[in-house]
Amino acid sequence: MFLPKYPDSPTPPPAHTHAPTDPAPARRTLPPVSLSTGAIAAVITGGVVLTALLAAVAVSAISVAIAAVVLRSLFREQHRR
């Protein structure tokens, strides 16, 4: 019932009738992804600008904090007199 059925006269697979005229072309591999000089310069410039802005904000915040402490101490001395 579940036995395989084989063909009565086995036929060989068809023979390969044609030969390639040219050898297979060499595979070209893609070069690794490279960034252009302009893109690298833009990223570095953006990083420098953002770092400078962050430093400017930090220096301004420290200056305001120092000015607030000095003013508070001056007003406190004035109230004591």
Ranges of each domain in the chain: 47-81
What confidence score (pLDDT) does residue 4 get? Answer: 75
DSSP 13-76: PPPP----SSPPPPPPPPPPP---HHHHHHHHHHHHHHHHHHHHHHHHHHHHHHHHHHHHHHHH
| Residue 76 token pair | 């406190």
Q: What is the pLDDT of residues 14-29, one digit of tens each?
A: 666 766 666 667 777 7
Q: For the whole model, what pTM was predicted?
A: 0.48
What confidence score (pLDDT) does residue 30 get? Answer: 66
What confidence score (pLDDT) does residue 33 get? Answer: 66
Q: What is the pLDDT of residues 28-75, one digit of tens each?
A: 776 676 778 888 999 999 999 999 999 999 999 999 999 999 999 998
